Structure 1
Amino acid sequence: MSSRSAILDQIRRQLGRGPLPPDAVAALEARRPAHTRVAVGDDLVTRFIARFESRAGSVARVATLDEVPAAVAAYQARLGLPPRAAVARPLAGLPWPAGFSHHPGPAGPDELLSVTPCLAGIAEVGSVALPSGPDSPTTLNFVPDHHLVVLHCSQIVRHFEDVWPLVRARPGGMPRTINLVAGPSRTGDVELTLQLGAHGPRSVHVILVDAPI
């Protein structure tokens, strides 16, 4: 049991009741104030790709999750990187090519390439939501020069606000950190010249998987 669950259970015991029934939960949800959201068309995948690539991110598309290792190897070879990566544990069991070395995180300062899953893609702005945790440490998102993110088309949501119900529904509860990444790290502080990789990866590459998660 998480600390959050233990605290909530203690509060319920003090109040003399258990979890709220579904109709009470629905009534409370209905009381949340609504606000105007950016209009987003129904083709969420196309919108996500366009917005993500507009900020120097790149996208490759594969049919199934088993094709991810080949896409990673192709990206690594195209950039002339060593055939090695820090790979988050949920992806470690995929059929990685012979000769491609991979290990579960965290990523050290000499790591050049990392591969992680994500919680969601946000069509509105073209960002990916990356929760922290022991299976995908935050170092994988920011330490290597090149970060590859595996995103299923079925994980793409319409607006920022649509991410938070997914966060609350995670089996492990609320993570310590959620990073919303919209492309490579950058700065224009030096003579107003855009530089990539200022405070994180020089490249962020999404591998978009057609098959549902």
Structure 2
Amino acid sequence: MSRTNDPARAEVLAAIRRSLGVTGAEAPRRAAVEERLANAPRGVIPARGQADGEERLAVFAREVEISLATIARVESAEAVPAAIAEFLREHNLPAAIRMGEDERLAAMPWDETALAIERGPSAGGDLVGVSHAFGGVAETGTLALVSGPQNPSTLNFLPDTHVVVVRASDVARDYESLWARLRETYGRGLMPRTVNWVTGPSRSGDIEQRLFLGAHGPRRLHVVLVEG
């Protein structure tokens, strides 16, 4: 049953309208909603990420590490495969990765490494997944990952280790700036099915208030920041 024909949902919405004394068809209310959706007004934005150039990247890198992830900075996209191979060696991880069909990743010189590469969504048996982020957020060290065959969402959650590549030019000051670029890139009504905002590895402190990594996803997140 579609959500539009869900009687339980319809009853909840009807109860809300009755409590507000409205029907939902009032022209001023509909105009206000349409204006807000069209203009996407910004709220209060923290000053932490409002920098440019190297200062913004430094804030992003610091926030990535505060979130318990690691980060490597490389000068060009051509240096990414070697940086990932080095990271896997340093952490005694297998030289095997899974990635999607992202053209930016495909153009990198993977054949210059000894990495074994599988492509497509993860079924849960992969130890290392590699994705290319749509962008990053300096104020919190967050990565924005859009769903699709280029970067399957399964890679964000199923592998034990997630390596994410992001271009320095795609690191925005704040969430609002990156949402604006998402809307501009895809257009209204054409947004990706899912936009995942990832800040550090999966973790939980629910049990005895002890921090546990990998509670609901990867227990290790490594960011490769491409500066060139």
TM-score range, shorter chain: 0.7 to 0.9
Q: Is the CA contact 1:92–1:103 (under 8 Å) kept in the aligned structure 2? A: no
Distance in 2 (CA, whole Å) between partners of 1:149 and 1:165 is: 22
Q: Is the 8 A contact 1:92 1:104 kept in 2?
A: no
Matching residue's letter, 1:153: A
Residue identity (%) = 39
Cα gap change, 1:31 to 1:182, in 2 (>3 Å): closer
Given the superposition, is the C-alpha separation of residues 70 and 31 from structure 1 closer, same or farther in structure 2, using an over 3 Å criterion?
closer
Q: CA shift at 1:108, angstroms?
A: 2.2
Q: Hey, what does 2:204 align to over in structure 1?
A: 187
Contact 1:76 1:83 in 2 (8 A): yes
Aligned equivalent of 1:157, options 165, 172, 178: 172
Q: Secondary structure at the match of 2:185?
A: coil
Q: Partner of 1:93 in structure 2?
A: 107
Equivalent residues of 2:122, 2:159 under 8 A apart: yes
Change (3 A) 1:113 1:36: same
2-structure distance, mates of 1:51, 1:157: 13
The answer for the alignment partner of 1:11 in structure 2 is: none
What TM-score, normalized to structure 2?
A: 0.75
Residue ranges of structure 1 left out of the alignment (5+ in a row) = 1-26
Report the residue type matching 2:62 in the other structure: A
Aligned-partner residue type, residue 180 of structure 1: W
Q: Describe the shift of the 1:28–1:54 C-alpha distance in structure 2 as closer, same or farther (beyond 3 A).
A: closer
1:63 is matched with: 75
Q: After TM superposition, which residue ranges in structure 1, 4 or more long, deviate above 6 angstroms?
A: 27-31
Aligned-pair Cα RMSD in Å: 2.1
Query: Which amino acid in 2 is paired with 1:185?
Result: S
Distance in 1, Cα, partners of 2:39 & 2:193: 27
Q: Could you tell me the TM-score, scaled by structure 1's length?
A: 0.80
- Residue 170 of structure 2 aligns to which amino acid in structure 1? Q
Amino acid at match of 2:47: A
1:1-213 matches, within 5 Å, as 33-40=41-48, 41-42=50-51, 43-90=55-102, 91-96=105-110, 97-171=112-186, 173-211=190-228
Cα distance in structure 2, aligned partners of 1:101 and 1:31: 46
Corresponding pairs, count: 185
Q: Radius of gyration: which is bigger?
A: 2
Equivalent-residue separation in structure 1 for 2:202 and 2:37 (angstroms): 36
- Over 3 Å counting, the alpha-carbon distance change for 1:35 and 1:190 in structure 2 is closer
Q: Alignment partner of 1:184: what SS?
A: coil
Determine if contact 1:76/1:82 at 8 Å carries over to the other structure: yes
SS in 2 for 1:51: helix
